Chain A
Amino acid sequence: MQDEPSPEELIKAVADFLRNDIAPQIGGHHAFKLRVSINALDLVARQLKLEQGSDAAEAARLSQILGTQGSLGELNKVLADRIAKGELDLQTPGLARHLWQTTMEKLAVDQPNYASYKRELAK
Chain B
Amino acid sequence: MQALLGDCVASWYPGASGVTGAVRLSGGASQETWSFDIVHPDGNVGAILRRAPQGYGAAPSRAAGLNAEASLMQLAHEAGLPSPRVMHLLQPQDRLGTGFIMERVDGETIPRKILRDEQFSQARPLLARQLGKVLAGIHGLPLAQLPVLRRMTAAKEITELERDYRSFEWPRPVFELALRWLQERDPGPPAEVTLVHGDFRHGNLIIGPDGVRAVLDWELAHLGDPMEDLGWICVNSWRFGEIDKPVGGFGSREELFAGYQAAGRRVDADRVMFWEVMGTLRWGVMCCGMMQRFRTGPEHSIERAMIGRRSSETEIDLLRLLSPRQP
Contacts and interface: CB of A to CB of B under 8 A. Distances in A.
B173 A114 contact: no
A96 B323 contact: yes
A119 B327 CA distance: 9
B171 interface: yes
A107 B176 contact: no
Contacts, number: 85
Interface residues of B, number: 31
A103 B326 contact: no
Given A80-B172, A84-B180, A115 B312 contact: no
Given A40-B305, A76-B171, A119 B310 contact: no
B151 interface: no
A114 B317 CA distance: 10
B303 interface: yes
Given A100-B325, A103-B315, A116-B320, A83 B309 contact: no
B317 A110 contact: no
Contact of B316 (A36, A80, A90, A117): A117
A107 B316 contact: yes
Interface residues of B: mostly helix, strand, loop or mixed? helix
A47 B305 CA distance: 15
B173 A99 contact: yes
A18 to B, nearest CB: 13
A115 B309 contact: no
Contact of B171 (A77, A104, A106, A116): A77
A116 B305 CA distance: 22
Contacts of B322: 90
7 contacts: A40-B302, A96-B323, A100-B323, A107-B316, A110-B313, A111-B313, A114-B316
Interface of B: 171-174, 176-177, 179-180, 236, 239, 241-243, 302-303, 305-306, 309-310, 312-313, 315-317, 319-320, 322-323, 325-327
Those 4 A-B pairs whose CB atoms lie nearest each other, nearest first: A80-B171, A83-B176, A106-B312, A76-B171
Given A111-B313, A123-B325, A123-B327, 4 more contacts: A80-B176, A90-B322, A107-B316, A123-B326
